[in-house]
Amino acid sequence: MKFLIADAFTEQLFGGNPAGVVILPEGADYPSDEIMVKTAAELRYSETAFIKQLGPEEFRIRYFTPAAEVDLCGHATIASFYCLLKLGIIQEGKTYLNHTLAGDLEIDVKDGFVMMDMASPVLIAKMEDIVELDRLYDIMGSEYDQSIGLNPYLISTGLPDIMMPVGSRAELANLAPDMKLLSDLSAKYKVTGVHAFTLDAAEGVTCHCRNFAPLYDIDEEAATGTSNGALTYYLYLTGKIKAPARLKIVQGEAMNRPSVIMTSITEDPETGAVSIKVGGRAVILAEGEINL
């Protein structure tokens, strides 16, 4: 099987978020789930994508962390379609269909830039209980500050996460979660993890963020497509942006892997339905064969 390592949401090596990409030979079926989990654990990346081509413009991708399969992974999707492009399996200027456990998603490829549909955004819950708010921020190594005027929401655009606002870039940088307690909290709320962010942003940037998912053996991630899709919906729900809008989100700074994630949000004028896309570029670090 063809195997590649690619850094997604960046234009330079050792930036962005690395992912493993495994491309199944034509006509081959997926290995067992156990083998794919073990492969992801052996590769030690937060996610490894396993790609099966179903037709000229149609693919199925399954995503595995070192601990389990997940429904969708944004950065691994960006990495996957960038690798398919560089291998000549897909072409510029076309739209492709990606079948995932989170639904069927369209992927636009243009000028080396990959934009992917997010699953339909869902507001799962708003966190309003002061005891729960204090508990969350305490676990994250911070304090709940009502004065910023924003509360955490549980949102999914493929994977559920807690959107956790903080007041400044300094506060964001100083977060030091208790990973065991955060893992337990994530299991309690049935979320992948916590996506902390601040609107205290550099010029030209919408917000800065950090993502923590220890329940899935990911203490921190440098670029998280699905979480930033959810963050885009959060900003829309809280009135911080209006559709249509394009956002530039910076992540990974605390890991010395700065990443740039571009998102867009549109609203159907007739139904009011909201659509979100997340995109970026990627760089291939290595490629070869993997024996499964």
CATH at 29: 3.10.310.10
Contacts of 156 (CB under 8 A, 6+ apart): 119, 121, 122, 124, 226, 230
Q: Residue 37 above 90 pLDDT?
A: yes
Residues 172 and 43 in one domain: no
Q: Is the dihedral of CA 119, 163, 10, 250 positive or negative?
A: positive
pLDDT value of residue 113: 86
- 174-187 b/e (C-beta count within 10 Å ≥ 16 → b): ebebebeebbebbe
Q: Residue 172 above 90 pLDDT?
A: yes
Its domain, for residue 207, covers 122-280
Residues 59 and 129 in one domain: no
Residues 97 and 169 in one domain: no
pLDDT digits (tens, 9 = 90+) for 184-202: 999 999 999 999 999 999 9
Residues 83 and 226 in one domain: no
pLDDT band at 289 (very low <50, low <70, confident <90, very high): very high
Q: Residue 111 above 90 pLDDT?
A: no
Q: What predicted TM-score, i.e. pTM, was given to this entire model? A: 0.83
pLDDT digits (tens, 9 = 90+) for 261-270: 999 999 999 9
Q: Residue 126 above 90 pLDDT?
A: yes
Task: Give me the residue label for tokens 């993502």.
Answer: 211
Distance CA 43, CA 32 (A): 17
Pairing of strands 245-251, 218-221: unpaired
Which alpha helices (H) appear in the chain, and where do they start and end?
33-43, 74-86, 130-139, 169-173, 179-189, 225-237
Residues 17 and 91 in one domain: yes
Residues 141 and 234 in one domain: yes
Task: Cis check for the bond before 244: say yes or no (omega within 30 of 0).
Answer: yes
Residues 250 and 272 in one domain: yes
Q: How far is CA 252 from CA 87, 170, 207, in A?
A: 28, 14, 12
pLDDT digits (tens, 9 = 90+) for 49-98: 999 999 999 999 999 999 999 998 989 999 999 999 999 999 999 999 99
pLDDT value of residue 11: 84
Provide the mean pLDDT of the chain: 95
pLDDT value of residue 158: 86
Residues 165 and 257 in one domain: yes
Residues 188 and 257 in one domain: yes
Residues 163 and 230 in one domain: yes
Residues 135 and 241 in one domain: yes
Name the domain count of the chain.
2
Residues 31 and 87 in one domain: yes
Burial of 243 (0-12, 13-18, 19+ CB in 10 A): middle
In angstroms, how far is CA 65 from the centroid of its own chain? 13
Mean pLDDT score, 22-51:
95
Q: How far is CA 62 from CA 50, 168, 277, in A?
A: 5, 36, 19
pLDDT value of residue 19: 95
